[in-house]
Amino acid sequence: MADLNPLSLWRRFIATPNDNRAKTLFVAFLVSLICALLVTGATVMLRPIQAQNRAAEQQARLEALISAVPGISDLIAESGGDALSTVVIDLDAGTAAAAVTPETLEAALSDQANWTTLAAADDTAGIGNRPNYAQIYLLRSGDAVSLAILPVVGSGYGGRIQALLALRGDMQTLAGIAVTEQSETPGLGARIEEPQWQQGFAGKRLVDDTGATRFAVARGPARTEYEVDGITGATRTSNAMTQMVRFWVGPKGYGPLIAAIRRGEF
């Protein structure tokens, strides 16, 4: 009867000539298995560290973007230097998301179920669909929100435009804007990324006394408290900026959140 003792079998295997095909294949398989186990173990062990590093990198990038909004540093200093808090918003409800955090937002938005397809009549920003959740930044003065920084996106002449829109605590006055991504025509529409042009947003009103949205990038110099100077030769980019801002402060964007903040519910 054959000896099936594992130790004996191993000794017989070791004694097999090294040029034996079965031995070569088995050793290759064994080495591959050990390497796979080591890589898997390292991945599991390093995952928390990698997550922390990604979070720190994202936070640093966001702080750099926020600081790029003209005048924001002064507004934060006026508040006593309090830090901006980060909140994930349920856009439809206008409240803090119950089950999505800044750490889980990316995973949540990888699920198409967490996006809303916009009807053509509602899609003034030209984005096609809108996430159901968004990460925003708030500065408080006592119990009241004194500044809200809202990520916005729209479709420009050359492609996607992304920006951070800052609103004063009354939710009717712009504190500033920082364009963070654009592919508009150099020397024309691309001027939306110039700090000097962005400074024109500070202090502009979004709505009139009836609540109607009046903000616009003008065709030429601004003539009202609702207008920002237009960019010569970049009419389509100027219109895109107007429509992007109007969409995101409207009912399909941050409208429910803005209303909740104005009511003192946030």
Cβ neighbors of 158 (< 8 A, separation 6 or more) are 182, 183, 184, 185, 189, 237
Phi, psi of 249 (to 5 degrees): -90, 0
The token pair at 225 is 């408290």
Contact 124, 131 (CB under 8 A): no
Residue 70, pLDDT above cutoff 80 = no
CA 17 vs. chain centroid, Å, equals: 60
Distance, CA of 223 to CA of 25 (rounded, Å): 80
Distance, CA of 233 to CA of 107 (rounded, Å): 41
**Higher-pLDDT residue of 27, 9:** 27
pLDDT of residue 12: 73
Q: What is the largest CA-CA distance in the chain?
A: 102
Distance, CA of 171 to CA of 148 (rounded, Å): 8
Percent of the chain having pLDDT more than 90? 53
How sure is the predictor about 257, in pLDDT bands with cuts at 50, 70 and 90? very high
Residue 264, pLDDT above cutoff 80 = yes
Angle at 236 between CA 230 and CA 240, to 5 degrees: 85
Q: What digits encode the pLDDT tens for the residues 199-232? A: 899 999 999 988 899 999 999 899 999 999 999 9
Please report which helix (H) or strand (E) contains residue 145, including its range. strand 144-155
Domain boundaries, the chain: 6-60, 71-262
CA dihedral in degrees (119, 123, 129, 130; nearest 10)? -120
Residue 55, pLDDT above cutoff 60 = no
Three-class SS state of 107: helix
Average pLDDT score over residue span 67-84: 65
Percent of the chain having pLDDT more than 70? 82
Q: Which amino acid is at 233?
A: G
The token pair at 223 is 């003539």
Q: Write down the pTM of the prediction.
A: 0.75
Contact 101, 89 (CB under 8 A): no
Q: What digits encode the pLDDT tens for the residues 144-197? A: 898 999 999 999 999 999 999 999 999 999 998 989 889 999 989 999 999 889
pLDDT of residue 57: 60
Concatenating the DSSP letter of every residue in 124-137 gives TT--SEEESEEEEE
